[in-house]
Structure 1
Amino acid sequence: MNAVMTQAIASDPIQRYDASRRRNAESAYNRNVQYNGQNQKTVENLEALLIGKKEPEIDQSKRPEPRQLGAGQMKQIALPIGTTLEETIASWKDVRAEAISEPEPTTADYNLAATASAKIMRTEAQIILHNRAQSEIDITSAREEADTAKMASKELPSDLEREILITQRRYEKAISSYSFQVLMKQKGFEIDRPSFYKIA
């Protein structure tokens, strides 16, 4: 009887383990089917858009309607950044004009206009600095081109002239060495001879 009970007890954890594995696999399968079923429509719509069979749907209801501003409310104006500095200046000028367009501008409108004016001046200063740096680069490159043209136009010395220059340099080097030795001798320095000369 104990042998039968031992087998039942031993098989019970195995059966529980198998049952839990089956339940987990079944729930994972159901989740996968549910996920794929929900996303299948989205995938089909995207494929139709990519192929060109369907036009994109634009939902106009998501846009907020313009509303009247109450007391203490401020206009929400997006800060403009153009692709070039000139476009940025034009955008900031539009912001400044929009801020003061009200018949009775508020302090916030004046602050926005002042900020826009400051941004315009800063951007114009950037343009001026950029132009100045560009002109300096152009001047430097023109100088370098002139120097290279001047160096190229110089004639190289002939073989005879080159030999004369080499001889002159050797002569100048010998004179400077000799004059240094003469100066040292006048100051009292002498070249010591090895001691075996004195002995012999």
Structure 2
Amino acid sequence: MTEAVWKFMADRVYHQVELVGEMSPPWDHIDADFTEFDSDLQDSPSLAQYIPDGWEGRNLLVRPRPVCAAVRAVLAPLELSREAGHWTVHPAEEAAVEELLPLTRWPLPAARRVDDAEVLTRAAAVGRARDAFVRLAAAFLDDQADLPAASRAFSDAIGPVADTSPEDLLKGRGGGPHACGSLRRRTRLGLIGKFLDDIAFDHARRCR
């Protein structure tokens, strides 16, 4: 079942996904047009049909992701601070976030088949993002701001990827055409980018 959820999310990474139950308000809108897996219905596909043995995302599911875990650990307290209204805003923050956002986008498309050149391109994007985090953190002279400290933490979290040699990157990508390792490297940036998007939204809301 865990693999089914992963595959569903991978297939619909850019879709709006909402969890609903039989008592949820949107239920009436989907009741006439949805697919139920592994049910007693005649046309219901089994989980084995939905997740074939050769599904390339399985490698991503079972392989450890220490850098992703490090990025999530950095983000968790920052997100709580922002949501609680404790994030310390800096006058130069909005421009800095605008500079960082293009460097922290999700890979497009997420399921794209990649070759060795694409692996190196995506890894180079991680390196550019790390350099930008370091530069931004050094540019803020006000120690009271939260963004410089966050940038230093982001830089430290993705550092092991940015410092990996091209030979080791290609060696660790695995044999699948989706190059799970390279997708994870950009996924780490996407997690950071989502947080920066939220910061940018906060600035836009204050300007209204």
Q: TM-score, normalised by structure 1?
A: 0.25
Between Structure 1 and Structure 2, the one with more helix by share is: 1
Q: TM-score, normalised by structure 2?
A: 0.24
Which structure exhibits the higher relative contact order, with contacts defined as CA atoms closer than 8 Å and separated by 6 or more residues? 2
Larger radius of gyration: 1
